[in-house]
Every structure is written in C-alpha cells, then in structure tokens.
C-alpha cells in the first residue's frame, strides 16, 4: 500500500517538470513573452505554498486517504485542463491549482510516513522524497516522448492528467483505512516530547529555515540553467542534462533521513546549510566544465534535497506532539514553497541589478547573496534549535 502511494507521489514530482520541458512549444503556440513563460514554469510553487497549511487542518477533520485522492484529482485535473487553456490567465490558474493539489498530497504523505514509521520518521519522509528524484528522472523523458509521438504539447498534458486519475482508482481499491489512517505514533507513546502548540521555539526557527531553504534551493533550480545558457553559452540540452543530476542527488533521501534520525538536528541542519553555501559559491566561481557542473549539481542535490529538505520536513513533525503532526507538515510545505515562489524572481532581479543576464559577474553577485549568504545565516540559526524539546 505504501508503494502505491509512493508511485502517486512520483507522478506528482514528474508533473513539476512537465511545463518546463514543453515551455518553448507553449510559448510559440500562444506568443507568450519569456517573462510570462518563466512565471508559468514556477507558479505551481505558489499553489504549494497556499495549500500546505490548510491541508494540515483538513487532515484533522477528514481521512488522509480522502485528502490524498482529492489532491491527486486537483493537480491532475489542473495539468490536464492546461491543454484546454485559451490564454495566459487560464493557464496560470490551472497551473497554480495544480500546485494546491500537490500540497495536499505532499502534506498527507509526510504526515502518514511520520506517523506509521514513527521510529524512523525522517528516513520514512526520505523515502517519499526519493520518489521526487524518480519522478524528476522519468517525467521530462516521458513528456518529450509524448510530444514527439503526437506532435503537440497538449498530448503530454492530457496524458499526465489521465495517469493521475488512474492512480486515484488504484488507491481507492488497494489502500486500506487501517494503514492510511494509522495512529501508531499516538498509540505507541502518549507523550514522548514535542510541543503542544505551533507557537514554539523549534517550529518558529524551522519555519525561518524553510524560507531560507526555499530561496536558496529554488534560486538555483529556477535560474542555474539560464546561467549555463546565457552566461556560459551552453546548449539547452547540455543545461537540461546538468539539472537532471539534482534529481539523482535526491535519490539518496532515505539515507539523508537516516542521518537526521541518528544525529542532532543542530548538526544535521548546520552541515546541510554549510554544504549548500559551499556549492553556491562553487557554481559561479569554478571552471566552465560540464562534468564539474554535473558533479556539483549532484552534490547540491544531496545537501539541499537529501539532507535539508527531508530533515526539515521530519523535524517539523518531531517538534510537535503527534496530534499536531499534520499541521506541522502543513507549516513545512507552506513556508518552504511560499518562499520558493519568489526565489527565481529574486535571483533574476539581483542579476539585472548587478549587470544583466550575460554578465558572469552579475551571476557571481546574485549567487553569493541568495545562495551563499542565506545558507550561512541558516547554518547559524540551526545552532539555536533545542533537540531536547523535540519528540523522541
């Protein structure tokens, strides 16, 4: 049953990569500007940010299975309806709505994994994030295959939308309530630590760390391919190949979760942010070699996704009592993706301020501020966490 849900999560991850692959064809079809096309490529993160916290409250009132299936219906329907969009605003609405559905599935999956596998919460959440890497691997390839086979970008949108409704039927038939609605964590321990309110030191610090992580991670994900193409003059295929190595780094997420379960949150978070700071510096100061870019992107995926993303999600659950686990997951999704929605815009504004897209010095300036400096701030703040106040 858990594997069925992981397959559904990998489909959600694949959907995130769908629009960027098809963006040139959609842009030519509608005559969108480059800026508007870029906004459409990342607007789903706004939906993720909006949907996370409300989903936490929905999970306290409805079954996880129902919320998951509703989320899949929303993001798959949003993706499928983009094929019928008649202009920029209708497409924007469909893609933003798909992000809300993604938030519903992601929040539900994090809460379920942390509750059922309560002794290894972060590792369980790592297994969820590993499926993000799998979806990021097959999503762009399947989208390209559908585009070439049918000669239209609409085929890929409709195909992925259809796959989502197939998963809803599979979940309805195979996932039993005793698994999806498990309260093992509550039954196993009446009170093993964790705050009884969302307004506590650890949760507040983790929300700030989420914002930093969202700005640094999506500043890279959203703009590094543009740097490779515009400043270093690599081809689109080369830039896309470099970016795919981030997903390979995310495949190690189970080990990242094990690391988070075994060691102090202070050590885990501080080391993760220090790693992203070093990589953020190297991205714009090292050689122009694609092999070096591949390696750095893979390592960045390990630090940003495998260590930071997985354990931020896990610590949000550990910082609270079991009865608040769903709301903790919602806070994680909302705060991280809320900042992610403006990460690309911020990086682009910094580059424009420092000299423009073709200036390598401008990219050095932007990378140093948004990735390096913010990550160093995150490492310092991580030292203020109080592990003793978290759940065992």
88-97 pLDDT per residue, tens = 999 999 998 9
Residue range 261-265: mean pLDDT, rounded: 89
Given a contact cutoff of 8 angstroms between Cβ atoms, the answer to whether 281 and 226 are in contact is no
Domain annotation for the chain: domains and CATH numbers? 2-389 (1.20.1250.20)
To the nearest whole percent, how much of the chain has pLDDT over 90?
A: 32
pLDDT of 76 reads 93
Q: Which of 277, 244, 265, 262 is nearest to 311 (CA)?
A: 265
30-72 pLDDT per residue, tens = 988 766 776 787 788 888 888 877 887 787 788 888 889 999 9
Position 378 pLDDT exceeds 90: yes
Instruction: Write the DSSP symbol of residue 287.
Output: -
What is the rounded distance in angstroms from the CA atom of residue 75 to the CA atom of residue 334? 16
104-123 pLDDT per residue, tens = 888 888 778 777 776 766 67
324-363 pLDDT per residue, tens = 777 787 788 888 988 887 887 788 888 888 888 788 898 9
Q: Which of 269, 337, 276 is nearest to 301 (CA)?
A: 276
Given a contact cutoff of 8 angstroms between Cβ atoms, the answer to whether 310 and 253 are in contact is yes
Query: Which pTM does this prediction carry?
Result: 0.79
């Amino acid at each position: 049953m858990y594997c069925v849900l992981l397959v559904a999560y990998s489909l959600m991850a694949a959907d995130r990569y769908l629009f960027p692959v098809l963006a040139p064809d959609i842009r030519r079809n509608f005559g969108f500007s480059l800026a508007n096309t870029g906004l459409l490529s990342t607007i789903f993160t706004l939906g993720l940010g909006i949907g996370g916290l409300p989903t936490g409250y929905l999970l306290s009132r409805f079954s996880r299975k129902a919320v998951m299936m509703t989320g899949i219906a929303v993001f798959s329907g949003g993706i499928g309806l983009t094929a019928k969009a008649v202009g920029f605003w209708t497409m924007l609405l469909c893609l933003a709505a798909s992000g809300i559905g993604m938030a519903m599935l992601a929040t539900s999956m994090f809460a379920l994994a942390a509750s059922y596998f309560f002794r290894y919460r972060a590792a369980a959440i790592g297994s969820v994030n590993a499926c993000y890497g799998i979806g990021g691997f097959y999503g762009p390839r399947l989208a390209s295959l559908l585009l070439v086979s049918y000669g239209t970008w609409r085929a890929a949108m409709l195909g992925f939308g259809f796959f989502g409704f197939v998963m809803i039927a599979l979940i309805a038939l195979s996932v039993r309530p005793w698994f999806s609605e498990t309260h093992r964590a509550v039954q196993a321990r009446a009170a093993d630590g964790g705050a009884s309110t969302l307004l506590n030191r650890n949760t507040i610090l983790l929300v700030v760390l989420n914002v930093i992580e969202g700005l640094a991670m999506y500043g890279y994900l959203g703009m590094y391919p543009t740097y490779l193409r515009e400043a270093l003059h690599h081809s689109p295929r080369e830039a896309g190949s470099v970016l795919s190595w981030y997903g390979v780094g995310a495949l190690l997420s189970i080990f990242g979760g094990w690391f988070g379960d075994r060691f102090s949150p202070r050590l885990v978070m501080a080391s993760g942010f220090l790693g992203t700071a070093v990589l953020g510096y190297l991205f714009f100061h090292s050689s122009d070699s694609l092999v070096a870019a591949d390696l750095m992107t893979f390592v960045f995926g390990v630090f940003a996704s495998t260590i930071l993303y997985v354990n931020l999600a896990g610590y949000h659950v550990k910082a609270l009592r079991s009865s608040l686990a769903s709301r903790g997951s919602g806070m994680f999704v909302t705060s991280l993706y809320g900042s992610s929605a403006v990460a690309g815009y911020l990086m682009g504004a910094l580059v424009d301020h420092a000299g423009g897209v073709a200036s390598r010095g401008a990219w050095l300036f932007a990378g140093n501020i948004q990735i390096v400096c913010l990550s160093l701030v995150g490492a310092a703040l991580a030292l203020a966490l109080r592990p003793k106040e978290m759940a065992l």
